[in-house]
Amino acid sequence: MFNFLKTAPHKPKLTNAAEIDSTYKYWRIRIFYSMYIGYAMFYLTRKNFDFIMPSLISDLHLTKSDLGLISTIFYIMYGVSKFVSGILSDKSNPRYFMAIGLIATGVCNIFFGFGASLWFLATVWMVNAFFQGWGWPPCARYLTHWYSQRERGRWWGVWNTSHNLGGGLIPIIAGALAIHYGWRTAMFVPGVIAIGLGLILLNRLRDVPETEGLPTIEEYKNDYPHGECVPTHPKTPTKEILVKYVLCNKYLWILAFSFVLVYIVRTAINDWASLFLTEHGNSLMRSNSAVSFFEIGGFAGSLVAGWASDKIFAGRRGPVNVLFSIGIVAAIFWFWISASWGFIANASALFAIGFLVFGPQLLIGVAAAELSHREAAGTATGFVALFAYIGAALSGYPMGYITQHMGWNWFFVVLGVCSVLTILLLATMWNAKLPCFSKENQK
């Protein structure tokens, strides 16, 4: 009954150059805008929780530690799901994988809106986290198979702004719905939209180029890393992908530990900034509006980071990661001291953090896909994403506990330390090279 999830069969290869070109252009655009909107919707159905936190405290009498516990459970399950889903998605049809995951998250949002007890809410949100993990790996597979290495940084950078589209809309949508219609409505509305959009994705998405009778992207673009590399077509066994190209890949371990630190910073700012500002004299709507600038900054940062890694550093992701990480330290300090300076100061600081954080958030994922086997894009990115959401989990209950018992100053000290450690780790990847997985290497 699950055969439809298997990767689609390859069609006979097209031979007419003009037909290949027009078909490639059509599907690249159609798949890109579909997965872009689809992933933004995944974001919409998980980040709405962050912006109803004050309402949950007042209506259900939950504490900061309770909210942190729900976040931590979510992020642990989300990270595990990303890794497991990454392994499965490399052998699956991303069209169905992504669409079914989005529909399921919509259902979970609706169930969450009916909840009242801590453990019911935590359980439903954990199930939501499992299906949320079905969003990223198909996108990594699409970006690796439909866009070549010389252009991938830009395409991935544009796709990465889907995080910011969903994240930027949520503070306004969820905040407005929670204020005028209650926090439950802020869960119901995104849930219904997600179900509808999931059904649309079933129609719009497809599998890899070969399933449409097209040559591989390397052949179409004549873009073979290092020139001498020959892309491999035989299906590599799952165990070999996992062990040889992921678990024994030193680059992926460095990227994974870096992702822990980046996601502590990114998620802590995203999840706790609204509460930080409201406790420093700002209204909920003004605080949520300021937090939306974090996503606007991330939108710009993704585009700049992807472009710079392609055009300035010729496809090397390491230098951009380091330079952006250095800026994060200053931006965090700025936000720390600007809480009572007014909306413009708050929004500007959050814009700067978003711009700088989303550079490494984007390029660590790109580097993971490129520094592993081309057939392991989902597994490699899922592996580092597992560690990313260990970091995200640490931004939940632990940061909530620190804030509740030690105050906001220690919250920012922890973020500063994480940012410095990120610089030190990513500096070792400055000159990381793409491996050559030639036919000889596969024997």
The CATH number covering residue 378 comes to 1.20.1250.20
Classify residue 55: in a domain, yes or no: yes
Query: Who's near 333: CB < 8 A, 6+ residues apart?
Result: 412, 416
According to the model, what pLDDT value does residue 75 have?
80
Q: Is the pLDDT of residue 85 over 60?
A: yes
Angle subtended at Cα 128 by Cα 415 and Cα 390, rounded to the nearest 5 degrees: 30
Residue 143 lies in a domain: yes
Q: Is residue 308 part of a domain?
A: yes
| Look-up of token digits 């709405």 | 48
Does residue 442 register a pLDDT over 50?
no
- Per DSSP, the three-state class of 61 is coil
Render pLDDT for 224-270 as a digit per residue (tens, 0 to 9). 765 545 444 456 677 777 787 778 788 889 999 999 999 999 988 88
Residue 250 corresponds to which tokens in the numbers above?
């030193």
pLDDT at 4: 66
What gap in Å lies between CA 191 and CA 125, rounded to an integer? 13
Whole-prediction pTM value?
A: 0.76
Total number of domains in the chain? 1
Q: Is residue 125 predicted with pLDDT exceeding 90?
A: yes
Residue 338 lies in a domain: yes
pLDDT the model gives residue 192: 94
Tens of pLDDT, residue by residue over 286-313, are 777 788 788 888 888 888 988 888 888 8
**Which has more pLDDT, 207 or 236?**
207
Considering the domain boundaries, does residue 125 fall inside one?
yes
In a domain? residue 2: no
Q: Residue 222 gets which letter from DSSP?
A: T
pLDDT of residue 14 exceeding 80, the answer is yes
Residues spanned by the domain of 352 = 17-220+237-432
- Residue 180 in domain: yes
The answer to whether position 228 is within a domain reads no
List CB contacts of 182: < 8 A, sequence separation 6 or more: 55, 59
DSSP string, 265-329: HHHHHHHHHHHHHHTTT--HHHHHHHHHHHHHHHHHHHHHHHHHHHHTSTT--HHHHHHHHHHHH
User: pLDDT at position 182, please?
Assistant: 87
